[in-house]
Amino acid sequence: MKTFALAGNPNSGKSTLFNSLTGSRAYVGNWPGVTVERKEGTYLNKKKNQEAKIIDLPGIYSLSPYSPEERIARDYLLSGEPDLVIAVVDSTNLERNLYLTLQLLEMDIPVVVALNMSDALAKQGRSIDVKALSDGLGVPVISISALQSHNLDELMALSLKAAEKKRVGQTVLSHELIAKAKDIYAAEDVPSPLFHAIKALEQDEVEEKDHPEAYRQVGELSVDDTLSSTFADARYRFLEPLVKKCLSGKETKAKEKLSLSDKIDKVLTNKWAALPIMALIMFLIFHIVFGTDLLYIGSIYSAATGNSLFAEGFGGVELIIDGETYQPFADLFYSTDGVNNLGEFLHMLAGDNETGILGCISLGIKQGLININTPTWLVNFLYDGVLGGLAAVLGFVPQIMLLFVFFSFLEDSGYMARVAFVLDRIFRHFGVSGRAFLPMIMGFGCAIPAMINTRSLSSEKEKIKTIRVIPFFTCGAKAEFLVIIAAVIAGIVGVDAGLFTFLTYVFGVAVALIAVIVMTKTTLKEEAPPFIMELPSYHLPQPKALALHVLDKGGHFIKKAFTIIFASTVIIWFLANFSWDYTPIWTLEGEAAETSSILYSLGNLLQPLFTPMGFGVQAGDNGWIYAVASIQGIVAKENVVATAESLSAVAGYGSFADFALASGISTAGLVGFAVFNMLTIPCFASVATAKGELGSKKAYINTLLFWLVTSYGLGTLAYITCEWVWTLAITLPCLAGLIVGLYFYNRPKKIKEVNA
Amino acid sequence: MTLFELAVGESAVIKEVSGEKKLVRRLFDMGLTPGVEVYLRKKAPLGDPIELTLRGYELSIRKAEAKSISIEEEKQ
């Protein structure tokens, strides 16, 4: 079977073409450079009995290695694996799109040019002379529409025919050194000598690394430093008349052009309205996905009347399983807080192993197991361990998917590129570009998709910085324990719990921004990466493309979270229920049952470590509960509350709140506990994602250390400051000293740079 | 005159692009080559970056980059 690679600019409709050809799932977006994964599929035409393997390359503008995506595409095309490359070109933007095609033509590989979005071009009242373009480029050209599946079979037939013949690279450049440089590469038996020769003349870093000997020889040809720009210029000079010749229909001048896209843009990036609109959109998304009080009607009502909107939450059915009463659909539609928003409703509907649909299934299984006289330990293992872990993750899926729907819509519509455009000015001061905003804000929803989205960032350092601070944007799972701790603290101090929770969010964002600044000034030094970005036209996302997009991202979430959390829950269940000599703890009597599990001894061992943060030895005999809850939090942040609640129950307290009040740690200790768990190593699923995205092992280990040190340090600082306010007299001057130190640490180098 | 000094709603022809090699290369790859006509569509709400229309599409660059691009203002 022949292998065809799809190469083209971001937003050229490459991914849509891939989907239409292969019928498989792939992602379609507007954020430049979104397809980083290598996507493979098979084209099958049963009528003609034709098939081909299709590889979707990342969207790129050029083959000079400016970004990792360009490197990936270039390496793959030169690997000899593809039999042909289909150059996907946006018909409505011929000149810039064909620039990449000209570079592809320099390789020794058959090329077919697919003029995509021909329907959009026709709508503009323009058309392309395919024959003239094909003559000008010297390769087959065909007009297609990936979205409407127009001419796709013809494209494949043409490609299969073209792939039969070998093709030698050709160039539109006419520089006398090219032939000489090509001979050097040909003498070394390098495939595609023309392409390599031109890159060597362009003084391309990758070329220098890949073929040092030939590169050195080319260098001796008295290469001019400006050749790379001469070549780029020459390519465009070749394209300008060609495009003019092939394109017919009225050409609109930039000044006169005011399309619908421009009109939308006039509002959305308006000088005064842009930031408020952006804030409003973000707020509405998070409100709809995570809010428990629709439009704050409940709060407003209770503030006005002094009564809550609903005296009781929604009740629903009652189930009695194993002597305990469950109400799986309690608070489904509304609670005493107010009416649930869509996301919260979906979350409640899915539920966990005690609530919602998943709860009904889990409880049904439990009842079934009891009915057939399954041993208690096995029931507990299956229900608490296996089903508990699975349901906890699955319950979040509908809510996370809803978040994906909104963000995918913003991305596919082209708005996200504008968000980066508007915010770049602010973010640059922190040492990242405006593009870093999207992944960071997504962190409020879930760190996993947020980290996956860092792929569109242009510099490696920017990516590392962003991945490190994403967990500081409090996600839904962290909110859970913050809300509970906030309630306890608010009860003691007498402030509003909501206010306290809000402050923890603000604190997280502040820590994230400060951390980015500190990293930019110290270990990950760089000027804010350049911001040379295409702003794609706005368009209404296609429902099909949007659905594929959401399923793709959601599937990623389910797979990652599912496997890791499932495995870890089973392990933790084992540690919590067995002693060192493998005796199940439920066979032991009273006190011994509580204090002989492996988890208990581990918690006991680690407890003193948490002393500087106020929840170590201060917490006394039952302090190990805090330690174990924190460790469990590294598995999944939902576990912090779940573990604390269940262990508090084992220790004989009604709830974690009761235990927290009785355990002897101060309010400051609780603050330390909250701060530590909020900032420390995030859940296993996001750690695994971070590992995948960071690539290098060193960056990964440093990132883990960064999370540990930051959380431990700030947890300690928070505890000390809250416990003994006068210590601010010491910490504040130290902090000021640190800032001044950092400033001077950076200064001499700056002067050096200026002199150089 | 540089692109930095161009007013919103004005067009100009690029004369020369200077600066760090990698950056210049990128600007060239994106079609910002000498001789091309650009139109300054707008500035971001906070004044920076700027949005250009060239070769039939929209490109955003920072003012810092715009400063190193010299232009010739188009005669009306």
- The pLDDT score that the predictor gives to residue A480 is 74
Instruction: Quote the DSSP letter at residue B74.
Output: P
Residue A151 pLDDT exceeds 70 = yes
Q: CA A747, CA A732: separation in Å to the nearest integer?
A: 23
Q: Looking at the DSSP assignment, which residues form a beta bridge with residue A116?
A: A90
Give Cα separations from A338 to A106, A133, A291, A299, A488 (angstroms): 64, 63, 10, 7, 22
Interchain pair B45, A422: CB under 8 A: yes
Interchain pair A272, B65: CB under 8 A: no
Q: Which chain A residue has its CA at the smallest distance from B59's CA?
A: A534
What is the tens place of the pLDDT at every residue in A18-58?
A: 888 987 545 444 334 433 566 788 898 888 888 998 988 88
Rama region for B70: left / alpha / beta (φ>0; ψ in -120 to 50; rest): beta
What residues have CB less than 8 Å from A505, skipping those under 6 apart? A474
- The pLDDT score that the predictor gives to residue A109 is 96
For B60, the closest of A236, A255, A531 (CB atoms) is A531
Interchain pair B30, A532: CB under 8 A: yes
Span A701-717, average pLDDT: 94
Match 């495995």 to its residue by tokens: A567
Structure ipTM: 0.94
Rama region for A321: left / alpha / beta (φ>0; ψ in -120 to 50; rest): beta
A344 close to A292: Cβ distance less than 8 angstroms? yes
- Which chain B residues are closer than 8 Å to A93 by Cβ? 55-57
Strand order in the sheet with A2-8: A39-45, A50-56, A2-8, A84-90, A111-116, A141-143
With bands split at pLDDT 50, 70 and 90, how would you rate the model's confidence at A754? Answer: very low
Q: Looking at the DSSP assignment, which residues form a beta bridge with residue A132?
A: none
Say if residue A212 is exposed, middle or buried (CB neighbours under 10 Å; 0-12, 13-18, 19+): exposed
Instruction: Count CA within 13 A, CB hemisphere, residue A577.
Output: 17
Taking an 8 Å Cβ-Cβ cutoff, which residues of chain B contact chain A? 9, 11, 17, 21-31, 33-37, 39, 41-42, 44-49, 51, 53-62, 65
Query: How many helices (H) and strands (E) in chain A?
Result: 35, 13
Query: What number of other Cβ atoms are within 10 A of residue A119's Cβ?
Result: 15
What is the tens place of the pLDDT at every residue in A234-291?
A: 999 999 999 999 998 876 655 555 678 888 888 898 888 999 998 899 888 878 887 7
Match 């022949």 to its residue by tokens: A2
The residue type found at A200 is A
CATH number, domain A2-170: 3.40.50.300
- The pLDDT score that the predictor gives to residue A180 is 92
Interchain pair B58, A537: CB under 8 A: yes
- Which chain A residues are closer than 8 Å to B55 by Cβ? 93, 95-96
A330 close to A316: Cβ distance less than 8 angstroms? yes
Distance from B57 to chain A by nearest Cα, in Å? 7
Match 């290598």 to its residue by tokens: A38
What residues have CB less than 8 Å from A145, skipping those under 6 apart? A116, A117, A118, A119, A151
Of A441, A421, A430, A433, give the one whose Cα is nearest residue A271.
Answer: A421
Of A295, A302, A313, give the one whose Cα is nearest residue A355.
Answer: A313
Residue A642 pLDDT exceeds 80 = no
Q: Looking at the DSSP assignment, which residues form a beta bridge with residue A210?
A: none
Say if residue A165 is exposed, middle or buried (CB neighbours under 10 Å; 0-12, 13-18, 19+): exposed
Distance from A272 to chain B by nearest Cα, in Å? 7
With pLDDT > 70 as the criterion, what percentage of chain A qualifies?
Answer: 93
Of A707, A701, A278, A715, give the one whose Cα is nearest residue A472.
Answer: A707
What tokens appear for A185 in the block?
């590469």
- The pLDDT score that the predictor gives to residue A457 is 79
Residue A591 pLDDT exceeds 70 = no
Residue numbers of A between 97 and 116 with CB closer than 8 Å to B: 99
A584 close to A577: Cβ distance less than 8 angstroms? yes
DSSP B50-71: EEEEETTEEEEE-HHHHHTEEE
Interface test with A, best of B8, B57, B67 (most A CBs within 10 A): B57
A589 close to A62: Cβ distance less than 8 angstroms? no
Residue numbers of A between 422 and 441 with CB closer than 8 Å to B: 422, 424-426, 428, 434
Q: Which domains does chain B have, with CATH numbers?
A: 3-73 (2.30.30.90)
Say if residue A28 is exposed, middle or buried (CB neighbours under 10 Å; 0-12, 13-18, 19+): buried
Distance from B76 to chain A by nearest Cα, in Å? 12
- The pLDDT score that the predictor gives to residue A24 is 56
What tokens appear for A153 in the block?
């079979």
Span A630-639, average pLDDT: 81
Q: CA A351, CA A358: separation in Å to the nearest integer?
A: 6
What tokens appear for A319 in the block?
């189930």
Rounded to the nearest integer, the mean pLDDT of chain A is: 84
A437 close to A423: Cβ distance less than 8 angstroms? yes
Residue A75 pLDDT exceeds 60 = yes
Of A123, A20, A68, A133, give the one whose Cα is nearest residue A458.
Answer: A68
What tokens appear for A236 in the block?
């465009």
Phi, psi of A27 (to 5 degrees): -100, 135
Enumerate the domain spans of chain A. Answer: 2-170, 292-395, 724-756
- The pLDDT score that the predictor gives to residue A560 is 60
Phi, psi of B51 (to 5 degrees): -115, 125
Interface test with A, best of B23, B27, B60 (most A CBs within 10 A): B60
With pLDDT > 90 as the criterion, what percentage of chain A qualifies?
Answer: 30
Q: CA A399, CA A285: separation in Å to the nearest integer?
A: 12
Q: CA B75, CA A348: separation in Å to the nearest integer?
A: 65
Interchain pair A537, B46: CB under 8 A: no
**Is pLDDT larger for residue A620 or for residue A355?**
A355
What is the tens place of the pLDDT at every residue in A169-210?
A: 999 998 889 999 999 999 989 999 999 999 999 888 888 888
Match 């229920």 to its residue by tokens: A577
